[in-house]
Amino acid sequence: MACKDCSNAVLEEARQIVKEVGSEPEKVIPLLQEIQNRHSYLPDDLVEAVAEVMEVPAADIYGVATFYSQFRFTPMGKHLIKVCKGTACHVSGADLLTASISDELGVEEGGTTEDMLFTLETVACLGCCSLAPVVMIDNKVYGKLTSSKVRKIVKEYKDGKH
């Protein structure tokens, strides 16, 4: 069960993560969370190295990772943009906000810009219904948005003003 694509550095990081979190079967989710905290996604070589260190098939780790939507398998941009698609936001124009952001950044929903600056996602609800429609960039909430307001905010992030 050798990690064929793992460098020594990756194997060392895997050992460190397993040492910190634990190697028991019930530690798989915390292990995956730690990997994602460090890298913003789950790099294949590191997941495979953790499986090797734990002495379990990588498929077991991937089975857990693919079950939960919190885990990502592709790198995220520096700024995570979440467009709320809850009922209040939907009826207030969330689709138009998503289209405006997508057009402004040249990226589709669920994608990351080529410069790795932005990732655009939609979420079921951000819990800010009184501010609908709402967008969250990183951990900052922007409410009562229009297409032009959201474009201005995104441009400010592009210009490094946030």
DSSP 41-53: S--HHHHHHHHHH
State both tokens at 79.
């700024």
- 10-41 per-position pLDDT tens digit: 999 999 999 999 999 899 999 999 999 999 89
Considering the domain boundaries, does residue 72 fall inside one? Answer: no
pLDDT at 148 over 80: yes
Q: What is the pLDDT of residues 60-77, one digit of tens each?
A: 999 999 999 889 999 999
- Beta strands 118-123 and 140-142 are unpaired
Supply the range of the domain harboring residue 60. Answer: 8-67
Overall number of domains in the chain? 2
Tell me the two tokens of residue 158: 């592009």
Domain boundary among 23, 47, 67: 67
For residue 2, being part of any structural domain is answered with: no
